[in-house]
């Protein structure tokens, strides 16, 4: 089915480990985004990408790394996970940018122990 898919759906890891969250979209949307959602903070932008090989920081980029070698994939890596990175992570895409409708994936619930 076309759309935006995230994997894994749930992930438990330990402090200090590297974790990669995957995001794949089949619409060929130019823009892709990573958000985290925490109680009391709403959705906060981590990184976004306007096209392949073009990425930029959002509100809370520290501790995260992204890459976009192909238009359809936008993985998010936590290089050394910390407990404060326990959160629900949403990937999203849009056709035209931040002023356009965002389509969200189903989310990844990450727990860092």
Partner 1 sequence: QKEVEQNSGPLSVPEGAIASLNCTYSDRGSQSFFWYRQYSGKSPELIMSIYSNGDKEDGRFTAQLNKASQYVSLLIRDSQPSDSATYLCAVTNQGGKLIFGQGTELSVKP
**What is the contact surface with partner 1 in residues (CB under 8 A)?**
35, 40-45, 58-59, 90, 97-99, 101-102, 104-107
E strands, 3-59, in order: 4-7, 10-13, 19-25, 31-38, 42-51, 54-57
Residue 111 C-beta: closest distance to partner 1, Å: 15
- Residue 16: strand, helix, or coil: coil
- Residue 83: strand, helix, or coil: helix
- Residue 92: strand, helix, or coil: strand
Residue 17 C-beta: closest distance to partner 1, Å: 26
Residue 99 C-beta: closest distance to partner 1, Å: 5
The residue among 38 and 72 lying less far from partner 1, judged by its C-beta, is 38
The residue among 51 and 80 lying less far from partner 1, judged by its C-beta, is 51
């Amino acid at each position: 089915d076309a759309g935006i898919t995230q994997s894994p759906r749930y992930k438990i890891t330990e402090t200090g480990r590297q974790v990669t969250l995957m995001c794949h979209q089949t619409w060929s949307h130019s823009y892709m985004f990573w958000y985290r959602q925490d109680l009391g903070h709403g959705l906060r932008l981590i990184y976004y990408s306007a096209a392949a090989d073009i990425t930029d920081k959002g509100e809370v980029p520290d501790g995260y790394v992204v890459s976009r070698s192909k238009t359809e994939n936008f993985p998010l890596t936590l290089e050394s996970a910390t407990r404060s990175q326990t959160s629900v992570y949403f990937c999203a895409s849009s056709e035209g940018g931040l002023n356009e409708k965002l389509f969200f994936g189903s989310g990844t619930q990450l727990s860092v122990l």
